[in-house]
Chains A and B, each alone.
Chain A
Amino acid sequence: MEPVVETQTVYIRPSSLTDTPTHYCPGCTHGVAHRLIAEVLDEMGVREQTIGVAPVGCSVFAYNYIDCDFVVAAHGRAPAMATGIKRVVPERIVFTYQGDGDLASIGMAEIMHAAGRGENITVIFLNNAIYGMTGGQMAPTSLPGQKTTSSPSGRDVEQMGFPLHMSEVLAKMEGASFVVRRSLHDPKNIRQAKKAIRTAFEAQVRGMGFSMVELLSTCPTNWGVTPVEALHWLEEHMVPVYPLEDFKVSPELAGLKF
């Protein structure tokens, strides 16, 4: 008699994620973030209604992996470009995917005003405290004392200023419906990040205005550590500076169950 083998699928590639190996460095969390977005698009069944806006930076090629319509914005301008798209096709879901240099430095005006207008878009904000694509320069979110190729002696706050806390700032905007910070350094936090991404997209579907999920992320290559060390460094050094909190959750979203 043949043995009965019961199989249960516990892990498959979301259909909104293309079957393409990413170009990201080993240990980089962009791939995790991409997958979470793809899972949410699958669960909500909105892949064909969604338009992504890729940034300038390592994730400029996000369109190679997330299988929906895409445009690529100029550095920092993704919220403006997303605004232009959303205003002419308001029934579609529009999200931007931005890094910390893109969103918190060169694109500061665009993100602030998109939130201020309550623009009905979703922003996925990857904060890894460094410029990745250009090779590890200081970002507006680099930690005090953090060594980068443009702060070789460490970020001196007297000279180079303090880290910017974008979620805390943007949560103050009346136009924002959902602003939270999550992290991608372990499975528990990744699950919580996914739930937040889902909630942010749900906020947009409900026409509730600006939604953003900040995701603390790793950059082992430019931090000069191994992938595992990078996860520990994130947890030990970034989380204390960037607390994982809900900064703004509209009451209507608070009770959502998925």
Chain B
Amino acid sequence: MARELLEGNFAMAEAAVRAGCEAYFGYPITPQTEVLEWMSQRMPELGRVFLQAESEVAAVNMVYGAACAGARVMSSSSSPGVSLMMEGLSYIAGTEVPCVLIDVVRGGPGLGNIAPSQGDYNQIVHGGGHGDYHPIVLAPASVQEAIDLTVLAFDLAEKYRAIAIVMADGSIGQMMEPAELPEMRPLRTTKPDWAVTGAEGRKPRLLSSIYIDPEQEEIANLRLVERWYQIAQNEIRYKEYFLDDAEMVIVGFGTAGRVALSAVRAARTEGIKVGLFRPISLNPFPFAQITELAKRAQSMLVVEMNTGQMLDDVRLAVENRIPVEFYGRPGGMVPYPDEILGEIQRMARQPVALGGDPRLRWLQRLKLAMN
């Protein structure tokens, strides 16, 4: 396949089609509506299922039903819509059926705005719905990665009977850049052996998240957490840039990671030994890799488009070995490379002491810069 100029939302939708998605249920919400629009045309022309639901609540429960019937199924939404889906996601997790969700994150809380944001990190990575479960979360930093991770999401969801979420932000969803779509995969011809499709010639099956006996629910919870450790062992993904000799490590995912890379390149021309670590799997999170970096480097800077949500996970991994600083632009703002470069230069000039609250220090610096 040739590289084409592709918009992120369209590219993720078509990638899902080519990955063999059999059914799509969604609801319009900016900045992901192009996924729904593309599916509304593409799925019926291929004889597959498309349905615009009455709400995200209904959409996720349609996904739940289709997943129970053994279909390769997905939905897409943006932050407030994903909040509405949390009930259904918890049921899907509890029933151990696979599905894929694309979250094109926008500014919040509340109605917020439609600008790019990473404010859903906690909502998505640390659960969101009730009960004990972990979705797989993948964060693209380019249109190409958005395509590749969407395909991967279907494979991982089915491999582990889990929820796989591609967490993009509004800029990945909306921007156009050259990328290559995969070949069209043939659709599956068989249904999984757990699917509820009518008990023809076999005993009836039940798919449910109910375990009325707490002892059985505990067993189910332990099964989920054991499977999660298996996922954590196999599915950590990240990218490293200029880290071989780096004394300072920037950690950023998605668009924030991509902007930080420009800043790292600029700092390198000034002779600052700085590199970038970009987590791709936000869940499972590359804790061990960051711990290793903390043993080698002298300081770390976490960059996010929120007020420091991944920061908490990075600090957990760093184990207070080296000073951690934070720089974020929340609410739908995207940092410029110069802003991050300024932070790198400051940290190179004046080493930060260990301890304290990096988020509070950032808040004070940002407020000074705004005045």
Contacts and interface: CB of A to CB of B under 8 A. Distances in A.
A15 to B, nearest CB: 12
Contacts of A195: none
Contacts of B196: 51, 69-71, 85
A71 B207 contact: yes
Q: How large is the interface on A (under 10, 10 to 19, 20 to 34, 35 or more residues)?
A: 20 to 34
Given A74-B61, A80-B62, A51 B88 contact: no
Contacts of B206: 63, 69-72
B200 interface: yes
A189 to B, nearest CB: 29
Given A60-B210, A69-B204, A84 B69 contact: yes
Interface in A49-86: 49-51, 53-54, 60, 63, 67-74, 77, 80-86
B51 A87 contact: yes
A81 B55 contact: no
B57 A84 contact: no
A87 B54 CA distance: 15
A47 interface: yes
B121 interface: no
Contacts of B208: 54, 63, 70-72
B123 interface: no
B69 A88 contact: yes
Contact of B69 (A54, A85, A110): A85
A83 B65 contact: yes
Nearest to B207: A71
B54 A88 contact: no
Given A67-B204, A70-B206, A72-B208, A84 B197 contact: no
B62 A68 contact: no
Contacts of B87: 74, 77
A83 B55 CA distance: 13
B181 interface: no
A160 interface: no
B253 interface: no
B61 A77 contact: yes
A112 B59 CA distance: 14
B2 interface: no
A85 B198 contact: no
B58 A87 contact: no
Residue from A48, A80, A92 with most neighbouring chain B CB atoms (10 Å):
A80
B365 interface: no
Nearest to B51: A87
Given A69-B199, A77-B61, A88-B22, 7 more contacts: A63-B208, A69-B205, A74-B61, A77-B64, A84-B69, A88-B23, A109-B58
Interface of B: 22-23, 25, 49, 51, 53-55, 57-59, 61-71, 73, 87-88, 91, 95, 196-201, 204-210
